[in-house]
A and B are shown apart, each in its own frame.
Chain A
Amino acid sequence: GENVEQHPSTLSVQEGDSAVIKCTYSDSASNYFPWYKQELGKRPQLIIDIRSNVGEKKDQRIAVTLNKTAKHFSLHITETQPEDSAVYFCAASNRNQGGKLIFGQGTELSVKP
């Protein structure tokens, strides 16, 4: 069945360092890949997404890359700040099948000041 694997499960970095979270998906028909940030007790918030016809997308300190051949996509956060601390989820979706998001297991990012 459809599956998304996410690594690492926890990540601790010093303020100002970069953080990278990686995901692998199983369904080759997936064509939409969003990333969500969830702070403790809050809702998942969409922070960036990428569609299957694009290899890379950047928004200020956040970038996402997609390798369709390897069925692999990654989130890169540069110049991390303490407020980046949260759980990050990757997801994959086949928009032609109702758009259901298959989520990864989450990565708890801790940015130490």
Chain B
Amino acid sequence: DTAVSQTPKYLVTQMGNDKSIKCEQNLGHDTMYWYKQDSKKFLKIMFSYNNKELIINETVPNRFSPKSPDKAHLNLHINSLELGDSAVYFCASSQSTYEQYFGPGTRLTVT
């Protein structure tokens, strides 16, 4: 009955590969987000979708492409992975941009 779930939990891959992270929420929320937490634990917004529409697109390389097939799902596809992409990626969801609930995170390691 996890509210916000992500898969996979860990992702180890080589430079240049393409990978995807999936997120699902069963809270009935209308807004979903992707955050990146770097090695110094700094959390930074990447994208946000409201009712499947992209509303926030921060300064993120265009190798990162989010997709929201429906209100309950938000995926993140990353092309041509680089060493600097290594981080923990968190999905979050909220109703009407108030309380945001985070998923368990995906630890991405690029070697």
Residues of A within 8 A of B (CB): 32, 34, 36, 38, 42-46, 49, 87, 89, 91, 93, 95, 98-103, 105-106
Main secondary structure of the interface of A (DSSP, over half): strand
Question: Would A46 and B101 count as touching, CB distance under 8 A?
Answer: yes
**Binary CB contact string for chain B from 39 to 60 against chain A (1 if under 8 A, 0 otherwise):** 0111111001010000110100
Given contacts A44-B102, A100-B56, 10 further A-B contacts (CB under 8 A): A38-B41, A43-B103, A44-B90, A46-B99, A95-B97, A95-B98, A98-B55, A99-B94, A100-B33, A101-B45
Number of interface residues of B (CB under 8 A): 26
- When the two chains form the complex, which single residue of A46, A49, A103 contacts B44, counting CB atoms closer than 8 Å? A103
What residue of chain B has the Cβ atom nearest to residue A103's Cβ? B43
Question: Would B31 and A106 count as touching, CB distance under 8 A?
Answer: no
For residue B45, which residues in chain A have a CB less than 8 angstroms away from its CB? 100-102
B66 on the interface (CB 8 Å rule)? no
